[in-house]
Amino acid sequence: MKKVLIMSASTGGGHNRAAKAIQEELELKNINGEPIECKIIDSLKLINSFTDKLISRGYEKSAMYTPEAYGSIYRLSDTELVSKNEYKDNPLTSLLARKLKTLIKTEEPNLIIGTHPFPMIALCKLKKISNDKKLTENSSNEIEELSSYFHWSEDPVEIPPLISILTDYTVHSTHIQNEINYYIVGHEYVKELLVSEGEEPEKIKPYGIPVEKSFLLHRDKETILNELNLNPEKKTIVLMGGSFGAGNIKETLDELLEINRDFQILVITGRNKALKEKIDRRLATTEHNKNVQVLGFTDKMNDILYAADLIVTKPGGLTTTETLLKGIPMIVPYYIPGQEEENLDFLSNCGAVIRVTKKYTLPVLVKVLLDYPERVELLKKNIESIKKVNSAQNIANLSQEIMENEEAIKEQNN
């Protein structure tokens, strides 16, 4: 039986959801009639629970409360001051590499897929040692030192082929590692970004960001809106800020309530319970003439996005992908500086999003889209031209092909 490990990390919800989508498709495949075993590994939890909480919660808090600081760190780490492949000497990367070495010896995977760059950096570090160790006469002092650190001569490990999944519509230097066999990216534009960084075009597959197949299913619009206490005859605007309710949602809701047009609002606060309580209190003490429903965390986004007419949100990688797949026009009034800002650049270049600016405020944009339906149809047409379906299936097909080729090579050598 062939085995695949999918390396993820709980920094935002997108990495784990992408991992589940790939797992779902891989487990439908087989190699020579035998099923494929597929495990999702949270790389931060692999180190220890303290590190997992420190990094995952640190990302969440910095993204919510100090987004500019997060953006500054993101941009600094993507400059020539910290070039590609430099992250392999990070102490945390070295610690994870040691954990991964043990995991690989135990699990003996035939393929490793990463939906987050952190574990892929550590795996590439191990793979570099493995590859250079085969050329012992030409090994550098650096490799000998690393080999000694990992006790390589006593306990060698073979790293299988590596596939890296980019879950945003951009490229960061942490993604770029020489030892990656294939990159999966969200669009041809992102492929060209990698090519401009020196990666070989044939290694880059613009399959799109993977989404679970169940997300594409939905019930009828009337049933969905009735369950949410919303009117199926009215335009519905969904306001949200990702899985942990980031962004200026309270202020944005105030702007929507002041718009003199007839529509209803569904606010989704995600796992941010404090935000939901604040909005509920504000609505109870504020006069307005709109039907507003507030929902916390939900696993019904496949239904909700289908029933929406417009979505006001931040441009996270998975949020963006899911919205594109549903063909719903987006208005973006806020974003976390860094990858979300670059996602917004991508969407703007494709004509698939409306971005709020100082002059073109949210009320101005909403009024135009409600008053001129042809503008909405133009957005939908642009969305249709860039959305990628069957990403997870295509990744599973590529994975199957890689493992079958590896099996064929082994048989020839025997």
pLDDT given at position 408: 81
SS3 184: strand
* Distance set, CA 327 to CA 5, 240, 310, 380 (Å): 32, 17, 10, 6
Alpha-carbon distance of 198 to 204, in angstroms, equals 11
Q: How many domains does the chain have?
A: 2
Percent of the chain with pLDDT over 90: 64
* Same domain (yes/no): 78, 195: yes
Look at 112-121, 154-163, 310-319, 389-398 and tell me which has the smallest mean pLDDT: 154-163
pLDDT given at position 332: 96
Could you give the residue ranges of the DSSP H alpha helices within 78-140? 91-107, 117-133
Q: Using the predicted structure, report yes or no on whether residue 166 has a pLDDT greater than 90.
A: yes
Q: Give me 154's structure tokens.
A: 């006593």
For residue 242, give the amino acid letter: G
For residue 357, give the amino acid letter: T
On the CB side of 38, CA atoms within 13 Å amount to 23
Q: Using the predicted structure, report yes or no on whether residue 80 has a pLDDT greater than 80.
A: no
* Same domain (yes/no): 251, 375: yes
* Same domain (yes/no): 12, 74: yes
Q: pLDDT grade, residue 406 (50/70/90)? A: confident
pLDDT given at position 151: 45
Do residues 22 and 395 touch, judged by C-beta distance below 8 A? Answer: yes
Look at 61-65, 183-187, 307-311, 366-370 and tell me which has the smallest mean pLDDT: 61-65
Q: DSSP state, 199?
A: -
* Same domain (yes/no): 185, 224: no
**Mind listing the pLDDT tens digit for each residue in 123-138?**
998 998 877 665 554 4
Q: Give me 206's structure tokens.
A: 């613009």
pLDDT given at position 246: 60
Residues 6+ apart with CB under 8 A from 199: 176, 183
* Same domain (yes/no): 228, 292: yes
* Same domain (yes/no): 60, 183: yes
Q: Using the predicted structure, report yes or no on whether residue 42 has a pLDDT greater than 60.
A: yes
Percent of the chain with pLDDT over 70: 81
Alpha-carbon distance of 35 to 18, in angstroms, equals 21
Element holding 406 (H helix, E strand) = helix 391-413
Do residues 139 and 90 touch, judged by C-beta distance below 8 A? Answer: no
* Same domain (yes/no): 159, 275: no
Q: pLDDT grade, residue 12 (50/70/90)? A: low
**Mind listing the pLDDT tens digit for each residue in 340-398?**
999 999 999 999 999 999 999 999 999 999 999 999 999 999 999 999 999 999 999 99
- Which of left, alpha, beta for 147 (phi over 0: left; psi -120 to 50: alpha)? alpha
Hey, CA dihedral for 355, 356, 358, 363, is it positive or negative?
positive
Residues 6+ apart with CB under 8 A from 111: 2, 3, 4, 5, 160, 161, 163, 399, 402, 403
* Same domain (yes/no): 15, 158: yes
Average pLDDT over residues 228-255: 87
Q: Give me 251's structure tokens.
A: 């202020």
Residues 6+ apart with CB under 8 A from 21: 210, 211, 212, 213, 391, 392
Q: DSSP state, 242?
A: T
Alpha-carbon distance of 254 to 319, in angstroms, equals 23
Look at 10-14, 29-33, 114-118 and tell me which has the smallest mean pLDDT: 10-14
Q: Give me 29's structure tokens.
A: 């495949």
Q: Using the predicted structure, report yes or no on whether residue 82 has a pLDDT greater than 80.
A: no
pLDDT given at position 14: 81
Give me the DSSP letters along 355-387.
E--SSS-HHHHHHHHHH-HHHHHHHHHHHHHH-
Average pLDDT over residues 278-298: 93
pLDDT given at position 76: 54
Q: Average model confidence (pLDDT) for the chain?
A: 85
pLDDT given at position 70: 47
Q: pLDDT grade, residue 50 (50/70/90)? A: very low
**Mind listing the pLDDT tens digit for each residue in 387-401?**
999 999 999 999 999
* Same domain (yes/no): 367, 407: no
Q: pLDDT grade, residue 144 (50/70/90)? A: low
- Exposure of 413 by Cβ count < 10 A (0-12 exposed, 13-18 middle, 19+ buried)? exposed
Residue from 71, 315, 301, 305 nearest 209 by CA = 315
pLDDT given at position 131: 73
- Exposure of 158 by Cβ count < 10 A (0-12 exposed, 13-18 middle, 19+ buried)? exposed
pLDDT given at position 64: 54
pLDDT given at position 123: 93
* Same domain (yes/no): 152, 18: yes
pLDDT given at position 49: 55
SS3 157: coil
SS3 108: coil
Comparing 363 with 337, the larger pLDDT belongs to 363
On the CB side of 90, CA atoms within 13 Å amount to 18
Comparing 189 with 48, the larger pLDDT belongs to 189
Q: Give the range of the structural domain holding residue 183, as residue numbers without chain letter.
A: 2-209+390-413
pLDDT given at position 135: 54
CA 356 to chain centre: 23
* Same domain (yes/no): 278, 375: yes
* Same domain (yes/no): 226, 77: no
Average pLDDT over residues 214-231: 96
Q: Using the predicted structure, report yes or no on whether residue 97 has a pLDDT greater than 90.
A: no
For residue 137, give the amino acid letter: E
Hey, CA dihedral for 255, 257, 261, 265, is it positive or negative?
positive
**Mind listing the pLDDT tens digit for each residue in 193-209?**
999 999 999 999 999 99
Q: What is the CATH number of the domain that holds 324?
A: 3.40.50.2000
